[in-house]
Amino acid sequence: MHSAIPVPVDLTNCDVEPIHIPGSIQPHGAMLVCSVAGIVEHASANAVAMLGCDATPVGRALSDIIGADAAHRLRNEATKSGGTHVAGVLLNQRLGGAPHALDISIHHNADRMFVEFEPVSDDHATVPSAIELTQGLIRRISLESDVGAIATMGAKLVRTMLGYDRVMVYQFLHNGAGRVIAEAKRNDLQTFMGQHFPAGDIPHQARRLYLLNPIRVIADVTYAPSPVLPPVAGTERPIDMSFAALRSVSPIHCEYLQNMGVAASMSMSIVVDGELWGLIACHHDSAKIVSMATRTGAELFAQYFSLQIAVAERRAEVIASQEARAKLGEIVAGHQHDEPVGAALARNLDDLSALLGADGAGLWIDGAWTSVGVVPGDDDLDAVMTLVNRAVSGTSWSTSELTAMMGPDSGFGDAVAGLLAIPISSLPRDYLLLFRSEEAHKIEWAGEPVKHVIAGPSGSRLTPRGSFETWREEVRGKSRPWTSSELAVAEATRTYLRDVVLHHSEITAEDRLRTEKRRRILNDELNHRVKNIIALVKSIALQTGAHAASVEEYSLSLEGRLRALAFAHDQSLAGTSGDLTTLLDAEASLHRYGSRPERVTIAGRPVGLDDRTFGVMALVVHELMTNAAKYGSLSVPEGTLAVAWTIAPDGDCRISWTERGGPRVEKPSRTGFGSKLVHTTMAYDLGGSIDIAFEPTGLVANLVIPASHITESAPRVETAPRSDGATHALRGLDVLLVEDQALIAMDTE
């Protein structure tokens, strides 16, 4: 049975339910909870039957239950997965007396090892087919460029991939509620498209688990849980199943799904910038099991889908910011050099208000107030400025519920309901304030968004709503919300106006022209980089999949390469790009542990690299370090790695990479994608070289970075190539395609 939670009945019940420690699992699989030494401490009640054991597994070694060979391979898979919480997987295994072939996964959480078993299901996918399917989905989703189109295509592709009756893309809003922005379903089903779901439908602790465990499957909402035995003692730490695929589900959530007419579900987390952006929610009207291989492919797709959402949002924000800067340039360009900036802005308040879609605007400079349109009355101005000074901390700040911020007796919420505050100086605190009037509107909810208290066998408790028929709510006292694109425009306005305010007294007409030219160059460079990043990520995904031997290898290789690329990009944006030592230290930090931090040594004079070289070397160093960790000296505790470099008389940077103390090294029989990547990018992107010697005592690599890529100063900004606009008839001609990214060139071939 699901355990009852002895807490008072109120609207926070769902938020305190300890769903990560249910003490039971879904019965379509079995679970063993082991010590780090591999001794079974707890087992699900159905483990004996599913594994074909002659007695309870508790107290026995894992190797005695599943066989020494399977236990050894399972541990190897867990090691290769690259993280304690990341599951290693063995598919389609035959174990001793088990009546069915089993898919097995293993992961660690704290000092416990979780081994999960699932009978091979009817939709069981092979490893190659899962990779092929995922690659196909990635290619299709890469064709879309805005959030709406990506969501629509994603819902269709996931439904095709997994076969659920309904697939929804569900986006979380600023107030925690969710809205369905895309849907693919059976024609006879009621639609949820455009409907809202209250924040309480997915409590805070559930959202935390969606971040930790991105794929969640409920095979049958009417299941009877299989308890994990023996139950933990009173003083024993509960069994934390946060990362377990079979973790039992809150009975309230099961009831919620049944009220929707759902018999089975699967969710895929959409994570953007480390935050839960939304979910891909899959519903089925009958019980449905999804195999481990298919779930792994779905997780890879969800990761790439999240990346595409992030890129689309950034693209929209960049475009909105560029348009805002152009408009601001027109507004500010008309003022005289000897005219106070405040006076120039005050003359253009109508234009500034229109730029942000506001109903009124006010300018607070040096304690003086100038306004146009719908703004607070003079009696309320001090209270508004007190709120703004308390809420704003350097960047723009907004609310669409000014009444809630100011108090119900303040008089706000009708004429003035929304506020966007843009700081335009530091001291004194000057602001451009934009206001919006109330926008009375109706929100369509998927059922009345209220939980009701009923009495039951375990006492009174909150219950989920029983109907999901469209329920319309009239909203008053709120303005139209400020969108992410509008907030991006606000930030562009803030930086632009602050620059004008700070430098107005010093900038001559020639200086302003030079500043505008620099802005255009930076905007061109940003556009160029965004396009290159999109193409580069696509090529990495496709090339990695083409050379992967398994779903797990594809996942880990893709994640590692994208992490290396992201690190290089972050360093570039932070202004620290060019530090070779920083790059090597970041990669080496994962392997300096325990009592031997000296197992990885880095030595050499300070060397600066330009942005392009830094990005290339981030990928190259990641590939070499990953190879050392998987097969070389860093794969064993006693192994060492020494990296040193010097500047040759001709200005080239010569790097030596020496591994010692690892397994005996033999030259591989074939050239893998990683090896091809480091050789090709060093030569193609940098005009440099890398020579690798597979010495029996350890791999030795010598890399050369040409002097033209070495810099001791801050990285210079390079403009994107410009077209002369000439066009030529290409019919009957040979075409030479020149590409400056090696991976994109490889993908083109």
Q: DSSP letter at 106? A: E
The contacts found for 743-748 with CB under 8 angstroms, 24 or more apart, are: 743/536, 743/539, 743/540, 743/543, 743/677, 743/681, 744/535, 744/536, 744/539, 745/684, 746/539, 746/543, 746/676, 746/680, 747/538, 747/539, 747/542, 747/543
Determine how many CB atoms are found less than 10 A away from the CB of residue 704: 17
Residue 360 has pLDDT above 60, yes or no: yes
3-class DSSP state of 698: strand
* CATH 3.30.450.40 domain residues, the chain: 13-313
pLDDT score for 421: 92
| 72/81: higher pLDDT | 72
pLDDT band for position 603 (50/70/90)? very high
pLDDT in tens, 397-412: 998 888 777 776 666 6
Q: Which residues, 6+ apart, have CB-to-CB distance to 177 below 8 Å?
A: 196, 197, 198, 199
Enumerate the β-bridge partners of residue 180: 170
Question: Distance between CA 126 and CA 515 in Å, rounded?
Answer: 58
pLDDT for position 38: 92
The tens digit of pLDDT for each residue in 130-141 reads 777 778 888 888
Strand 600-603 to strand 698-705: parallel, antiparallel, or no bridges (unpaired)? unpaired
Return d(Cα 137, Cα 149) in angstroms, integer: 14
pLDDT in tens, 381-396: 888 898 998 888 888 8
3-state secondary structure of 454: strand
User: 3-state DSSP call for residue 502?
Assistant: helix
Answer yes or no: is pLDDT of 238 > 70. Answer: yes
> What is the secondary structure of 129-140 as a DSSP string?
HHHHHHHHHHHH
Specify the pLDDT at position 471: 43
Average pLDDT over all residues of the chain: 79
Q: Provide the pLDDT confidence category of residue 704 given band limits of 50, 70 and 90.
A: very high
d(CA 79, CA 72): 11
Share of the chain above pLDDT 90, in %: 31
- Mean pLDDT for 710-715 is 60
Arithmetic mean of pLDDT, 579-588: 84
Q: Tell me, what's the pLDDT at 219?
A: 95
The full DSSP string for 338-405 is TS-HHHHHHHTHHHHHHHTT-SEEEEEETTEEEEEES---HHHHHHHHHHHHHH-SSS-EEES-HHHH
Q: Name the pairing type of β-strands 640-647 and 600-603.
A: parallel
- Residues 252-299 pLDDT 10s: 889 889 988 999 999 999 999 889 999 999 999 999 999 988 898 899
Is the pLDDT at 564 greater than 90? The verdict is no
Query: Which carries the bigger pLDDT value, residue 727 or residue 708?
Result: 708
Is the confidence at residue 48, as pLDDT, over 90? yes
CA distance 221 to 461: 20
Tell the CATH superfamily of the 334-440+476-506 domain.
Answer: PHY domain (3.30.450.270)
Find out whether 212 and 235 touch, Cβ atoms under 8 Å: no
pLDDT number for residue 461:
46
**Residues 332, 394: contact at Cβ < 8 Å?**
no
Element (H, E) at 521: helix 509-547
Residues 6+ apart with CB under 8 A from 472: 442, 443, 444, 445
Cα dist from 528 to 522, 539, 561, 689, 719, whole Å = 10, 17, 21, 27, 8
Fold designation for 13-313: Beta-Lactamase (3.30.450)
Where is average pLDDT lowest: 2-6, 14-18, 82-86, 696-700? 2-6
pLDDT tens figures, 3-36? 433 444 343 455 667 888 999 999 999 999 999 8
The yes-or-no verdict on residue 456 having pLDDT over 60 is no
Tokens 């597979």, located at residue: 694
**Quick check: pTM over 0.75?**
no
Distance CA 554, CA 562 (A): 12
Q: Is the pLDDT of residue 462 over 50?
A: no
Q: Per-residue pLDDT tens for 146-189?
A: 999 999 999 999 998 899 999 999 999 877 888 899 999 999 99
SS3 track for 536-554: HHHHHHHHHHHHCCCHHHH
Q: Which residue has the higher pLDDT, 659 or 138?
A: 659
* Burial of 276 per CB tally in 10 Å (0-12, 13-18, 19+): middle
- Six-digit token string for 330: 């027109």
Residue 236: partners with Cβ closer than 8 Å, 6 or more residues away? none
User: Where in the sequence of the chain do the CATH 3.30.565.10 domains occur?
Assistant: 565-709
Question: Where exactly does CATH 3.30.450.270 map onto the chain?
Answer: 334-440+476-506
Q: Are 391 and 404 a contacting pair, CB within 8 Å?
A: no
Give the closest residue to 328 by CA, choosing from 106, 466, 515, 144: 515
Report phi then psi at 378, rounded to 5.
Answer: -60, -35
Print the SS3 string covering 392-403.
CCCCCEEECCHH
CA distances from 312 to 142, 307, 537, 616 (A): 11, 9, 14, 24
Pairwise pLDDT comparison (450 vs 709), residue with the higher score: 709
pLDDT at residue 505, rounded to an integer? 47
Tokens found for residue 33: 């909870």
Output Rg (C-alpha) for the chain, integer angstroms. 30
pLDDT at 559 over 90: no
* Pick from 354-368, 505-519, 562-576, 716-730: least confident: 716-730
How far apart (Å, rounded) are the C-alpha atoms in residues 662 and 674?
A: 20
- Which residues are CB-neighbours of 270 under 8 A, at least 6 positions away? 169, 171, 276, 277, 278, 279, 280, 302, 305, 306, 309
Distance CA 106, CA 411 (A): 59
- Three state DSSP letters for 543-598: HHHHHCCCHHHHHHHHHHHHHHHHHHHHHHHHCCCCEHHHHHHHHHHHHCCCCCHH
d(CA 711, CA 607): 7
Helix (H) or strand (E) holding 619: helix 611-630
Give CA–CA dist 179/165, Å, rounded: 19
The DSSP result for 140-190, as a single string, is HHTT--SHHHHHHHHHHHHHHHH--SEEEEEEE-TTS-EEEEEEEE-TTSP
pLDDT grade for 604, boundaries at 50, 70 and 90: very high
Report whether the peptide linkage leading into residue 230 is cis, meaning its omega lies within 30 degrees of zero: yes
Per-residue model confidence as pLDDT tens digits over 179-233: 899 999 999 999 999 888 888 788 888 899 999 999 999 999 999 999 999 988 7
**Residue 314: alpha-carbon gap to chain centroid:** 13
What per-residue confidence (pLDDT) applies to 730? 58
Give 224-242 as a DSSP string: PPEEEESPPPTTSPP---T
The mean-pLDDT minimum among 110-114, 588-592, 643-647 falls in 588-592
Bridge partners for 270 per DSSP: 278
Identify the DSSP state of 199.
G
What CATH code would you report for 565-709?
3.30.565.10
Q: What integer pLDDT is reported at residue 713 of this predicted model?
A: 44
| pLDDT given at position 6 | 40
State how far the Cα of 242 lies from the Cα of 209, in Å rounded to an integer.
6
Q: Is 292 helix (H, G, I), strand (E, B) or coil?
A: helix
Sign of CA dihedral 7, 11, 15, 18: positive
- Token pair of 460, please? 């009174």
The one-letter amino acid code at 99 reads P
Q: How far apart are CA 491 and CA 393, in angstroms?
A: 13
Task: DSSP letter for 223, please.
Answer: P
* Ramachandran angles phi, psi of 224, nearest 5°: -100, 120
